[in-house]
Amino acid sequence: MGAFVGFMQSIAGRMLRIVVGLVLIGAGWIVVQGTGGTVLAVIGLVPLIAGVVGICLLAPLFGYTLRGVRRVRHAS
């Protein structure tokens, strides 16, 4: 899964998250509207902010930090 995290930390991955976030926010406000639209817009904030800040929220699931650095496991 290193390739996935690597892509998400690349400029293209960050731009993809920003675009997806903006699309979700726009769809929530313009298409869905009401309570469901508000929820969709708030959900859209997650990939938008993650892309702007440069973190990958799925990276820890694959043994990486939020910034995409491989975690070293220490022997105890």
The pLDDT, as a whole number, for residue 1 is: 62
Q: Which residues of the chain have pLDDT under 50?
A: none
The reply to whether 19 falls in a domain is yes
| Count of structural domains, the chain | 1
The reply to whether 52 falls in a domain is: yes
pLDDT, the chain, mean:
87
| pLDDT for res 72 | 60
In a domain, 48, yes or no: yes
In a domain, 75, yes or no: no
Q: Is the pTM of this model over 0.75?
A: yes
- Report pLDDT for 6: 84
pLDDT of residue 58: 86
| Angle, CA of 46, 65 and 55, to the nearest 5° | 30
Whether the CB-CB separation of 30 and 38 falls below 8 Å is answered with no
Residue 16 lies in a domain: yes
